[in-house]
Amino acid sequence: MTIIEACDLRKEFPVRVKVGRWRRVRRTVRAVDGVDLRVARGETLGYIGANGAGKSTTLKMLTGVLAPSGGTVRVCGLRPVPDRTRLARRIGVVFGQRSQLWWDLPLRDSFDLLRHIYRVPSAEHAARLRRCRDLLDLDAFADTPVRQLSLGQRMRGELTAALLHGPEVLFLDEPTIGLDVVSRQAVRSFLGELSRTGDTTLVLTTHDLADIERLCRRLVVVDHGRVAHDGSIADLHARYGSRRLVVADLDSAPAEPPVLTGATLHRVEADGHRLVYACGAASAAQVVGALAGLVPLRDISIVEPDIEEVVARLYRSPAGEPCTAASAGAGLTGAPSPGPRTSPE
């Protein structure tokens, strides 16, 4: 059953841009440029894109913070802006940069206030709080005023606050940004647990692709406000020509690296003692078999394609066009997008 449905979703912002020394002209920034999205109940969706690609704007339209300039959107069957109050009871939101906690109150008191605001029956509230306390280890700092919490502690508090009313959908904008390794792991495993139960639909934007790999089966990549990829991580690799690498360590370096059918020599390292082949039509097993008959193998390893590299290539390819394997290059994850589309007003 579909819980989020966006059709041709658009958001334009009027801006004034400096031209020359004194002149300013009006322009329209197309931050979201015709996004179609359907998310099934219980799904965990990763929503990624370079800086300025339109992720936060999309999330703001899905949560009723911003009104779309065009298209239609339904979340839990409601229109996010006109039905904002009703929607607020059915969704939870964690925006990394913005807090929903009371700065001067201990975390525990914020949770209590939220119970009253959302009118959650106390048994339900207690059960949900107990689960979060266990999984997120809140007890050590539940009596500390929010302003004294570390970022990682506050984020654990934010996650709890967003879930206490039992939302059907949880929107998370950069939930692990700036967290130390321990807090990041705590947040990831908590979200993993939440995702496994399937009770809550999760929509997650992040620049940390490890979040995506650990949590999301489905990945939507946006580029210049448009969906450039919607599918599994495996689909992404297949579409953008990611290849497995076979790394062969040799006892002695051959005069010339062997030419293999169905694989290409990717690089030569360690003075010719290490050959790295990228699998094409040939499987990793076939490459290893062929190499074994041609060179003295000491060791073999197979390296799975790197999601950071494929996403970086996708960000760099013009308007989400699939790049060929030949266009693969070193990763530049997080490279800023050339910017949103603008047009004169």
Ligand X SMILES: Nc1ncnc2c1ncn2[C@@H]1O[C@H](COP(=O)(O)OP(=O)(O)OP(=O)(O)O)[C@@H](O)[C@H]1O
CA gyration radius, the chain: 24
Residue 101 C-beta: closest distance to ligand X, Å:
22
Does position 56 interact with ligand X (CB under 6 A)? The reply is yes
Does position 52 interact with ligand X (CB under 6 A)? The reply is yes
Residue 127 or 210 having the CB closest to ligand X: 210
**What distances in angstroms separate CA 336 from CA 97, 154, 167, 255, one per listed residue?**
19, 28, 33, 43
Does position 29 interact with ligand X (CB under 6 A)? The reply is yes
Does position 201 interact with ligand X (CB under 6 A)? The reply is no
Does position 31 interact with ligand X (CB under 6 A)? The reply is yes
Applying CB under 6 A, which of residues 2, 51, 72, 327 lies at the interface with ligand X? 51
Does position 305 interact with ligand X (CB under 6 A)? The reply is no
Q: Cβ–Cβ contacts within 10 Å for residue 218, how many?
A: 17
Applying CB under 6 A, which of residues 49, 80, 96, 305 lies at the interface with ligand X? 49
Does position 195 interact with ligand X (CB under 6 A)? The reply is no
Does position 221 interact with ligand X (CB under 6 A)? The reply is no
CA 56, CA 257: separation in Å to the nearest integer?
Answer: 48
Does position 13 interact with ligand X (CB under 6 A)? The reply is yes
Does position 310 interact with ligand X (CB under 6 A)? The reply is no
Choices 55-63, 100-108, 265-273, 294-302 (CB under 6 A): range interacting with ligand X: 55-63
Choices 50-58, 78-86, 113-121, 296-304 (CB under 6 A): range interacting with ligand X: 50-58
Query: Contact 186/17 with Cβ under 8 angstroms?
Result: no
Does position 15 interact with ligand X (CB under 6 A)? The reply is yes
Applying CB under 6 A, which of residues 3, 6, 39, 53 lies at the interface with ligand X? 53
Q: Max Cα separation, the chain? A: 76
Residues that bind ligand X (CB under 6 A): 13, 15, 29, 31, 49, 51-57, 339-340
